Amino acid sequence: MTRVLHTGDTHIGYQQYNSPERRRDFLEGFRNVVDDAVEDDVDAVIHAGDLFHDRRPSLVDLQGTVDVLRTLADADIPFLAVVGNHESKRDAQWLDLFADLGLATRLGADPVVVDDVAVYGLDFVPRSRRDDLEYVFEPVPDAADHATLVSHGLFEPFAHADWDTETVLAESPVDFDAVLLGDNHDPGTAEVLDTWVTYCGSTERASASEREDRGYNLVDFADDGVGISRRGLDSTREFVFVDVELAADEGVDRVRERVRQHDLADAVVIVTVDGEGRPIAPAAIEELAIDRGALVARVNDRRDLPDEDDDVSVSFADPDDAVRERVRELGLSEAALEIDETVRSGDLADANVRESVERRVRDLLEDGESAFEPAPEREPGDEDVTTVADQLAAESDSATDAAADGDGAADPDTTASAADANTDTDVATDADTGAADDAGDEPADADTASLGDFA
């Protein structure tokens, strides 16, 4: 029997919630999986992509990764991997460097034989390039009794799927016993055309939507078939999910009470508010959680609270949104729009703006220069031509109107909803990298990139 450990979506280098501790957690997750592999003396560790959270891991993350890979190499356990969407670079991949160092093998159309299993790989391929994709694999060597394909993407029949597994299996000349996948952070196993297809799930929660325990797969190739079992990781960062359904007469006190019922020490605390009730200021809840020892706290207010004064809140509640909307209408290049978005983003600490913009521009340049094409020509007389200055003037006019409205209640209310909006964006961005793991994230397509891709 041949036993391999199937892991993926490690996302090393992800500074989730802007927390250096979280960044270390993702590397530790990888270390813990590898330690288990060594203890169990598996025949290989197979990584299904997204070892790194982005294509430019820091030196510290790279050093940590090399250190973990060396542990495996010292134990004579091969590390076989494919490239995922998050880490994919234009030319050579990090994986190639690790291969040069003798610490990894990059899988492809030529099989790597582990005992009696031929292991093939297929890197993540953006949707736009899948129609022309030919599933060409070299024949299974005589020495192998089994064949398995390792890939990264959102495959049928799992949630958010956009890649047809039946097509892959039917068009491949090799008859695979199992397909070992990464990209969907939720683990799952299914049978397609008599082949086992399985996701191992991520090893740390890359988003608040990943509520289930994290883990990896152990895959046994035996004479009587393939066995897939799942093992949980008990070393992951504790996440405390506080879900509060507010009644009409309830507010922040009820949320506080529910938060106090949990042990929050060193945990990431996700408070989700639903139902009815009074508006709440997320900052007060987050402070309470931090006071009680939480590492990070986030409030996600899912209520659709009616505005008490629509006229005022539409013009005044979120001037950032209004400006953003109008800037889009200016016909700026893709690159300019993204930079504007980055500079304005409330999710990004001011200290990180310069680095983020620099990185984004570098990414865009790497992907070609189409994003920098100038805005379409327009005559100054065109009705839809406006300038940022016009917008700002218009904004300050309406703000003055609102202030002059004499409605004292408007101020605290709108302050609270602006804070809500920020928190919502934060959580939503995290969710984007979650279970679906950037379903539309194709590095080559500048128009599908979002702030979340490099946050």
Q: Is 429 helix (H, G, I), strand (E, B) or coil?
A: helix
Q: Shortest distance, CB of residue 34 to Mn ion, whole angstroms?
A: 18
**Cα–Cα distance for residue pair 265/24, rounded to 1 Å:** 17
DSSP letter string, 158-218 = STT--B-HHHHHHH-SS--SEEEEES-SS-EEEEETTEEEEE---SS-SSTT--SPPEEEE
Determine if residue 125 is left, alpha or beta; phi over 0 gives left, psi from -120 to 50 gives alpha, anything else beta. beta
Tell the residue number behind the tokens 């736009």, with chain if given. Answer: 128
Task: Judge whether 11 is annotated as a binding position.
Answer: yes
Pick the catalytic residue from 6, 53, 86, 146. 86
The size of the interface with Mn ion (CB under 5 A), counted in residues, is 3
Task: Judge whether 9 is annotated as a binding position.
Answer: yes
- Phi, psi angle pair for 53, to nearest 5°: -75, -30
**Cα–Cα distance for residue pair 442/86, rounded to 1 Å:** 9
262 is catalytic: no
Stretch that binds Mn ion, among 106-114, 188-196, 406-414, 431-439 (CB under 5 A): 431-439
Q: Which is nearer to Mn ion, 26 or 137 (CB)?
A: 26
Closest to 262 in 3D by CA, of 238, 246, 283, 278: 238
Which tokens go with 155?
A: 């495959």
Q: Which is nearer to Mn ion, 259 or 435 (CB)?
A: 435
Q: Shortest distance, CB of residue 9 to Mn ion, whole angstroms?
A: 4
Q: Which is nearer to Mn ion, 57 or 282 (CB)?
A: 57
Question: Cis bond leading into 157, ω under 30°?
Answer: yes
Task: Judge whether 175 is annotated as a binding position.
Answer: no
Q: Shortest distance, CB of residue 185 to Mn ion, whole angstroms?
A: 6
Task: Judge whether 85 is annotated as a binding position.
Answer: yes
Contacts of 20 (CB under 8 A, 6+ apart): none
Answer for which of 43, 204, 250, 437 binds Mn ion (CB under 5 A) is 437
Q: Shortest distance, CB of residue 57 to Mn ion, whole angstroms?
A: 14
Task: Judge whether 217 is annotated as a binding position.
Answer: no
Q: Which is nearer to Mn ion, 9 or 186 (CB)?
A: 9
Contacts of 1 (CB under 8 A, 6+ apart): 220, 221, 222, 223
Q: Which helix (H) or strand (E) holds 260?
A: helix 252-260
Give yes or no for residue 50 binding Mn ion (CB under 5 A). Answer: yes
Q: Shortest distance, CB of residue 437 to Mn ion, whole angstroms?
A: 4
The crossing angle, in degrees rounded to 10, of helices 388-404 and 319-328 is 150
Q: Shortest distance, CB of residue 356 to Mn ion, whole angstroms?
A: 20
Give yes or no for residue 61 binding Mn ion (CB under 5 A). Answer: no
- Beta bridge pairs of residue 180: 150, 198
**Cα–Cα distance for residue pair 284/298, rounded to 1 Å:** 11
Give yes or no for residue 286 binding Mn ion (CB under 5 A). Answer: no
Stretch that binds Mn ion, among 272-280, 346-354, 399-407, 429-437 (CB under 5 A): 429-437
Answer for which of 9, 123, 338, 363 binds Mn ion (CB under 5 A) is 9
Q: Which is nearer to Mn ion, 50 or 204 (CB)?
A: 50
Q: Which residues bind Mn ion (CB under 5 A)?
A: 9, 50, 437
Binding positions: 9, 11, 50, 85, 152, 185
Instruction: Write out the catalytic residue numbers.
Output: 86
Binding positions for Mn(2+): 9, 11, 50, 85, 152, 185
